[in-house]
Amino acid sequence: MKRKLLAVLLTAAMTAAMLAGCGSSAGGGSDDVIKIGVFEPLTGENGGGGSQEVDGIKYANEVYPEVLGKKVELVVVDNKSDKGEATTAATRLVEQEGVAAVIGSYGSGVSIAAGDIFKNAKVPAMGASCTNPMVTEGNEYYFRTCFLDPFQGTVMANYCAQQGYTKAAVVYQNGDDYSTGLANFFKASFEGAGGTIVSEGVIQTNDSDYNSILTNIKASDAEVIFAPSSITVAGAFIKQARALGIDGLICAGDTWENEAIIDVAGEAAEGIVLSTFYDENDANASEEAKKFVPGFKEYLGGDDPIIPAVSALGYDAYCVVLDAIERAGSTDGDAIRQALADTSDFVGVTGEITFDENGDAQKSVAIVKTVEGGEFKYLDTVTITN
CATH code for the domain of 230:
3.40.50.2300
Residue 186 shares a structural domain with residue 292? no
What pLDDT is stored for residue 6 in this prediction? 42
- Residue 379 maps to a domain: yes
Q: Does residue 304 lie within any of the structural domains?
A: yes
| CA–CA dist 347, 352 (Å, integer) | 4
Same domain? For 221 and 312 the reply is no
Query: 338 in a domain, yes or no?
Result: yes
Same domain? For 91 and 22 the reply is: yes
Q: Please, which residues have CB within 8 angstroms of residue 8's CB and are 6 or more apart in sequence?
A: 323, 326
360 assigned to some structural domain: no
| pLDDT tens profile 245-272 | 999 999 999 999 999 999 999 999 999 9
One-letter amino acid of 275: S
Residues of the chain with pLDDT under 70: 1-30, 303-304, 386
Please tell me the distance from the alpha carbon of residue 44 to that of residue 89, in angstroms, as a whole number.
14
Same domain, 59 and 156: no
Shared domain check, 339 and 223? no
Contact 28, 35 (CB under 8 A): yes
In a domain, 167, yes or no: yes
Q: Which helix (H) or strand (E) holds 125?
A: strand 125-127
Which domain does 200 fall in, by range?
149-276+367-383
Residues 204 and 175 in one domain: yes
How far are the Cα atoms of 230, 312, 349, 362 from residue 385, in angstroms, in the given order? 28, 23, 21, 10
Looking at the structure, tell me whether residues 179 and 99 fall in a common domain. no
Please state the domain count of the chain.
2
DSSP, collapsed to helix, strand or coil, labels residue 256 as helix
Residues 226, 371: one domain? yes
A 10 A CB-CB count for 96 gives: 10
- For residue 285, the model assigns a pLDDT of 85
Interval 76-116: pLDDT, tens: 999 999 999 999 999 999 999 999 999 999 999 999 999 99
**pTM (two decimals):** 0.86
Q: How many residues does the chain have?
A: 386
Amino acid at 228: P
